[in-house]
Structure 1
Amino acid sequence: MRRLLLLTALLAGFAQAGEKLAIDVHRDANCGCCKAWISHLQDNGFQVNDHVETDMAAVKTRLGVPHGLGSCHTGVIDGKFVEGHVPAADIHKLRQRPDLLGAAVPGMPLGSPGMEIGERRDAYQVIVLDRDGQQHVLADYPAD
Structure 2
Amino acid sequence: MYDAVFVNGKICKNPNMVLADDFYFSGLNKPRNTSNPLGSRVTPVNVNQIPGLNTLGISLVRIDYAPYGLNPPHTHLRATEILVVVEGTLYVGFVTSNPANPNQKNKLFTKTLHPGDVFVFPEGLIHFQFNTGKTNVVAFAGLSSQNPGVIT
If the length of structure 1 is used for normalisation, what is the TM-score? 0.24
Which structure has greater strand proportion?
Answer: 2
If the length of structure 2 is used for normalisation, what is the TM-score? 0.23
Which structure has greater helix proportion?
Answer: 1
